[in-house]
Each structure stands twice: as C-alpha cells, then as structure tokens.
A and B are shown apart, each in its own frame.
Chain A
C-alpha cells in the first residue's frame, strides 16, 4: 500500500513527507515504547504511536521506518517535523485512536512487522 493510501484511510493530515507518499509499505507496528520498537521491529514500515518526543523520530530512523502516524490527534513539535524531514520520514496525524488506526490498516492489508529472528 502507498503511504498516500494510509493518509486517505485514516483521514490523516500529512505534516511532512509529501514527496514520498508514493512509497510502498507492507507492515506496521504500534507502540508507545520505543524500547520495544527497537527490539522487535524488522523490516521497513509504519510506526503508529501516541508518544510525542524527538526519540519517536530518531527511533523510526534507526529502524529504517518510512512513515509515522500519530494517533488520537497527538501533534509533533516543529522540531520533530524538521527532524523527520531530514531523515526522509513521512509524518501524519489522525484523530482516530491507536486501536482503530491499527484495525483500519490491518483490514486494508497491512501486516504486522516481522520480528528480526536472524540478526
């Protein structure tokens, strides 16, 4: 699925990353614990979170994730948006809660992030 389809499905507003909306993503992960994202995420994908701090962006960058969805109208700061832009990560906000966000994307065919078993 393209990142633009995620935006449409969630009625989300894109804060940065207009240029990579055509990028294909196949998997997502939902967590407010960056420790768990670092420990359990494998392939490129989408991060759904309600946590708002610069480490959300940096963690996604470390994990080569390409899109972050802030659920429940959580809004990242200008500094975070700037950081995401530098890292080439698309950032969007949706009014939907994390659970609903996950449900919509799962139903639309986004799968869970595979755990990294061979590293």
Chain B
C-alpha cells in the first residue's frame, strides 16, 4: 500500500443521536481492510471517546484518520471552549459533564485515560476560547 489512506468526517455537534457514527464507519473500513482486530479495537475505542467528547463538550468538529504502513493517525479538531487544565482533564474520574450527559450514558471522566491507554501517542493542543485538536497514533 504505497498511498496513505485517508478518511474525513464532519462531526455534527447539534445532534447527539449521531455521535459515534464516524468511529463505527472507521471500524467497519478497517475490518474490510483486514487489519489486526486488536489494532482496530484500539483505534476505534480511542477515536470514539474523542468523537463523543467533541459532541458533548465542544459542539462538534472534524475527524481525520490517516492510515499508512507504519501507523494509524487520528486527528480530532474542534472550535469548542478549549480545555483550561489538560493535566486535570486527563485524570481518571475528572469530568465537567452535567446530569443531562450522564443520563445519556457518558460523563464518568474515563475518556482521556482510555484514549491514552489505547494509543501509542496522544497530544492535546488546546486554547481556551478557541478550540482543541487531539492527535492520536496507533502503531501497526
């Protein structure tokens, strides 16, 4: 595979019912391409956590997935409120989600720890009031 495979998604922040759909799509594509199930699992869980975060915390954004010979790169970009304290946000159990989010089954503060657990590289680039870009890499 000489070319890098690329997927792009616009993540609608106004419609919770579609949250996670892009990750399901990526998982399906990677399965069709017969990647190792463990790799697929890591990529899809990490992306899903990030995608849900964009919808519940940042009013949506874009998701880009790039597959090369060496790695799968996931870039999630939003123009949401930004994250004031990334170190704190990365801690297990830390969440600013309200009850309405918890009623939807999210907001335990486990997303970032999970993204870290399932990826080989995680970078959070965020500016309060401007937005957040999350880059994750899983080695093949």
Number of A-B contacts (CB under 8 A): 73
Segment with Cβ contacts to A, from B1-9, B67-75, B111-119: B111-119
Which residues in chain A, 31-83, are within 8 Å of chain B measured between CB atoms? 32-36, 38-39, 51, 53-56, 58-59, 61-64, 79, 83
B residues bordering A, Cβ < 8 Å?
16-21, 23-24, 27, 37, 41-42, 44-45, 48-49, 52, 102, 104-111, 113-114, 117-118
- How would residues 6 to 36 of chain A score, 1 for a CB under 8 Å from any chain B CB and 0 otherwise? 0000000000000000000000000011111
- Dominant secondary structure of chain B at its interface with chain A: helix
B17 touches A53 (CB 8 A): yes
Of B44, B105, B118, the residue contacting A34 (CB under 8 A) is: B105
A residues bordering B, Cβ < 8 Å?
32-36, 38-39, 51, 53-56, 58-59, 61-64, 79, 83, 87, 116, 119
A33 to chain B, nearest CB (A): 6
- Dominant secondary structure of chain A at its interface with chain B: helix
- 24 A–B pairs (Cβ distance < 8 Å), ordered by A: A33-B105, A34-B105, A35-B106, A35-B107, A35-B111, A36-B110, A38-B45, A38-B48, A38-B110, A53-B16, A54-B18, A54-B20, A54-B21, A58-B20, A58-B23, A58-B48, A59-B48, A61-B24, A62-B23, A62-B24, A62-B45, A62-B48, A87-B24, A116-B117
